[in-house]
Amino acid sequence: MSEQPISQEKSILDEKQFVVFGLARETYGIDINLVREIINMQELTAIPKSAEYIKGIINLRGRIIPVFDLAGKFMLESKPVAKSTRIVVVEVRGLTVGMIVDVVSEVLMIPAEVIEQPTEMMVTSISEQFVKGIAKYSDRLVIILNLEKVLINSDMDLAG
């Protein structure tokens, strides 16, 4: 009798919450635990001689945060800023940055068993190294990003 609650608990633990957003006609997800906040697009202060996809910095309640265009980082076509454009502020290993995305759609609880390891054949729009998995969820595919690889182990060098 005590096994049923354990199995129910295990299934709850096997689910993760992801912030789901649209970018260049694809749907992406990032672990909600890495998201600090989601804000409307705002005016950015440019950083001279920075990479093209680094769009500038913002002052967020006294903290200076670099902001980059995620589509530009992935070498995808960036959409013009619209009402739906958002800055997703994330923190990975002590590094806080803002990522410009086309639209934030929802927070999803995705069971671990529907997330597959990426293969080069599955991921055609961005580099496979940035993808943690592909979730087949509710008749759609959600590309789960590995933010540590996107932010830290890349050429961004925002950390210093």
**Residue 158 placed within a domain:** no
* Domain assignment present for 17: yes
Integer CA distances (angstroms), 108 to 5, 19, 24, 39, in order: 23, 7, 20, 19
Judged by DSSP in three states, 49 sits in coil
- Lowest-pLDDT choice from 3-7, 34-38, 46-50, 119-123: 3-7
Confidence grade of residue 56 (pLDDT, cut at 50, 70, 90): very high
Domain that holds residue 132: 3-151
Count CB neighbours of 115 within 10 A: 20
What is the number of other CB atoms lying within 10 angstroms of the CB of residue 126? 22
Beta bridge partners, 144, equal 29, 133
125 or 1, which is more confident: 125
Query: Domain holding 98: CATH number?
Result: 2.40.50.180
Q: Give a yes or no: residue 136 inside a domain.
A: yes
In a domain, 124, yes or no: yes
What's the average model confidence in pLDDT over 107-136? Answer: 81
Of residues 94, 96, 51, the one with CA closest to residue 74: 51
| CA dist., res. 64 & res. 54, Å (int) | 14
Per the rule left: phi > 0, alpha: psi between -120 and 50, beta: everything else, 102 is alpha
160 assigned to some structural domain: no
Question: What are the tens digits of pLDDT across the range 16-41?
Answer: 899 999 998 899 999 999 999 999 99
Number of structural domains (the chain) is: 1
In whole angstroms, what is the distance from residue 14 CA to residue 3 CA?
Answer: 16
Cα atoms in the 13 Å half-sphere on the side-chain side of 150: 27
Residue 40: per-residue pLDDT: 97
In a domain? residue 74: yes
Instruction: Flag whether 43 is in a domain.
Output: yes
Instruction: List the structure tokens of 52.
Output: 């093209």
pLDDT reported for residue 100:
97
156 domain-assigned: no
